Amino acid sequence: MAEVLHLTDYRRPSGRVYFERGELRRLLALYAERVALGEWRDYAIDCLNNMAAFAVFGRSGDWPVVVVAKFRAAPHRPANYAVSCGRRRILSQGRSIDEVLAVLARKQAAD
């Protein structure tokens, strides 16, 4: 009798990192609030190996005003998150998206 082989046992796991539905909902809600205030105008989502990024722009064609990144060091480890402003200035790092997005809520309250 023939033996059944599961292809998932022979495939390499994908190294791509994506934002999950709840994370995207949280990011897009924040984006909508800031668009209503006239602060943000455009966004881009990029999924790379070991990292996903949500970049927000003040004007199209500029450098991102804010980048929220989700990255994973190892395949079965929990993801880490970071919020950066400008090219290299990291505002917040943490283990949950709500934890790192809190810095943007504080920044809005201060403005």
Could you report the per-residue pLDDT of 50-108, keeping only the tens digit for each?
899 999 998 777 889 999 999 987 766 778 999 998 777 889 999 999 999 999 886 66
Number of Cβ within a 10 Å radius of residue 11: 8
Note the pTM of the prediction, 2 decimals. Answer: 0.78
Phi–psi pair at 70, nearest 5 degrees: -120, 125
Region of 86 (left: φ > 0; alpha: ψ -120 to 50; beta: rest) is left
**Dihedral (CA of 31, 107, 89, 14) sign:** negative
Q: What is the per-residue pLDDT across 14-62, written as a single tens digit (0 to 9) for each?
A: 667 889 999 999 999 999 999 999 999 999 999 887 899 999 998 777 8
Residues 57, 31: Cα–Cα separation, whole Å: 10
Number of Cβ within a 10 Å radius of residue 26: 16
